[in-house]
Amino acid sequence: MSTPVFLRDCADVTDPRAQAISPVEIFSAIGVGMNFSIGEEIYAQDEQTDMVYQVQRGAVRASRLLVDGRRQIAGFYYPGDLFGLETGLTHRASAEALCDSRILVARRSALKHYGEAGERLEHLIWRATGQELGRAQDHMMLLARKSAYERVAGFLSDVAARQGEAWSELAMSRQDIADHLGLTIETVSRMITQLQADGLVALESCRRFRIAAPDRLTDLVAA
């Protein structure tokens, strides 16, 4: 995939209007929307990290190849999510489109051209980076202390909360879920079936579900 041509390279950053627009508008102005097909790589593990990414449509999987050849899935991203946020100079994981997706890609170093709005956007990016680190710590605790049943319940609860719809879509495969939760695909399937039998979730298809008993599921995940 060729490097995108960024709008900031041809924009008049001396225009005083650039100082008045919002961080969201700045992000849109300095970046470009790019389309990725299912399975297409957005960035590679160990690639430099000058870019910031936001899902506009579709879903993204971040995965890391371990030294023993196993795949570890670090997380999933949905419309509105920022991703590719790192504290170091290179990406610790690669990112691929889980389905046909549109991603807004912006060059982080361009923010300095946009005064206060750019500073506010940089602050939001750092805050999102902190939240990402917090989610990573929570995930490590989940893998260390939770049962398979609780892991799958927590995962479905998180997907539903982030999508914010009555019915939620699983863009990822059950193998992806298994690799994310440190389980086998057979265990993931059994736990989803058990959650359905227990009345905690309802399935319309293998990828479409809703939370049937929110309070009970919340209590289970918080235990």
Tell me what pLDDT residue 7 has.
36
Of 51 and 96, the one with more pLDDT:
96
Nearest to 91, CA basis, from 133, 45, 128, 126: 45
**Residue 125 contacts residue 108 (beta carbons within 8 Å):** yes
| Cα torsion through 18, 23, 25, 26, rounded to 10 | 50
- The angle formed by the CA atoms of residues 39, 40 and 46, to the nearest 5 degrees, is 110
Q: Which residues of 179-196 are buried (b: 16+ CB within 10 A; e: fewer)?
A: bbbbbeeebbbebbeebe
The pTM of the full predicted model, rounded to 2 decimals, is 0.80
**Residue 105 contacts residue 3 (beta carbons within 8 Å):** no
Tell me what pLDDT residue 8 has.
38
Of 123 and 202, the one with more pLDDT:
202
List, for residues 83-142, the tens digit of each pLDDT value.
998 878 899 899 999 999 999 998 888 777 777 777 777 888 888 888 888 888 888 887
Element (H, E) at 61: strand 60-65
- For tokens 């041509």, the residue is 5
Of 17 and 85, the one with more pLDDT:
85
Walk me through the domains of the chain, giving residue ranges and CATH numbers.
7-138 (2.60.120.10), 146-222 (1.10.10.10)
Pick from 28-42, 139-153, 156-170, 188-202 the range whose average pLDDT is largest: 188-202
Of 217 and 81, the one with more pLDDT:
217
Residue 124 CA, chain-centre distance (Å), reads 16
Contacts of 129 (CB under 8 A, 6+ apart): 85, 86, 87
Element (H, E) at 24: helix 23-30
List, for residues 151-179, the tens digit of each pLDDT value.
999 999 999 998 888 999 999 999 999 99
